[in-house]
Amino acid sequence: RTMADDLFNIKNEFFLGNFQGAINEAQASDLVLSSPADEKDRDVIVYRSYIALGNYDIVQSEIRDDASTALQAVKLFATYMASPDNRDIALITLKEWLADPATGNNPTLQLMAGAIFMDQGELEEAAKTLHSGTTLEMVAMQVQVYLRMARVDVAEKSLGLMARMEDDATLTQLTTAWVNIALGGEKIQEAFYIFQELADKYNETPVLLNGMAVCQMQLGKFEEAEKYLLKALNKNSGDVTTLQNLVICGQHTRKAPEVLQRYTNTLARAAPQCSLIRRRDLMESAFDRCLQSVKI
């Protein structure tokens, strides 16, 4: 790392999933930023951290209507995440901004668009939006999209681009680990070592603990995986990824039904729109219909 990147610690905490840590770093009294562009980037990361922590109202109330395109894009993402009722209007606005030559090429807008399209399950649209890949994080999100599409071959090509852009960046390391998990076999152990090294170097965050847990789950070691997930739950009891993985893990470790139900209920409160909860609701409604049909 060169000192040219004054935002290193803030970005690092954000990418590792230590969102409160990113906010704290950004507010440190000894932080010196060398340009207005750095100040804008700092604000973007701070507000994205608040979104990741579920504090949408802070973002919506603090970012003004005359703010930069990047901050407006973050505010739009907060509006989208805050309530299912906001989603249709947020999507209409997003598509208008992407089509507008004055705003459409903004990397933060493209990133927020990628995140929204992924959440909507519109993977082709996400890939198209992120195609320019002008920043390391945009290419990292491209990789996530391709992995969701089960196109590991294309994901590997984007990862190669990340390595050429910034080989030793935390984000490149994390993305390498996720691609390794998708490749499977002995690559899973390599992924585990990457998460472990980052945890030793920086801190055990929910992102890294979930990464290690997923590796163990892929290897069929569900009891080991659960240990990492419970550590992650201690750090953030409402973390959606941790709760999802605990539900999956619990099904394999024959957890008591009431414990599984507790995880599922917590997940439903934290993320009612997540795929696991949607699937559960669909199954429950199908079961109810089935019961109705057999009533005498």
Whole-prediction pTM: 0.87
Confidence of residue 1 (pLDDT cuts 50, 70, 90): very low
Neighbour count for residue 93 (Cβ, 10 Å): 16
Give residue 269's pLDDT. Answer: 65
DSSP 8-state secondary structure symbol assigned to residue 68:
-
pLDDT tens digits for 214-259?
A: 999 999 999 999 999 999 989 988 888 898 888 888 788 777 677 6
Our CA angle for 151, 156, 161, nearest 5°, is: 130
pLDDT of residue 17: 93
Determine the Cα–Cα distance for residues 240 and 242; give it in Å rounded to an integer: 5
Write 67-72 long-range contacts (CB < 8 A, 24+): 68/40, 69/97, 69/102, 69/103, 69/106, 69/108, 69/109, 70/40, 70/44, 70/106, 70/107, 70/108, 70/109, 71/40, 71/43, 71/44, 71/47, 71/108, 72/97, 72/109
CA–CA separation, 147 vs 161, rounded Å? 16
Of 57-61, 67-71, 238-242, 274-278, give the lowest mean pLDDT range.
274-278
The tens digit of pLDDT for each residue in 12-55 reads: 999 999 999 999 999 988 888 888 999 999 999 999 999 999 99
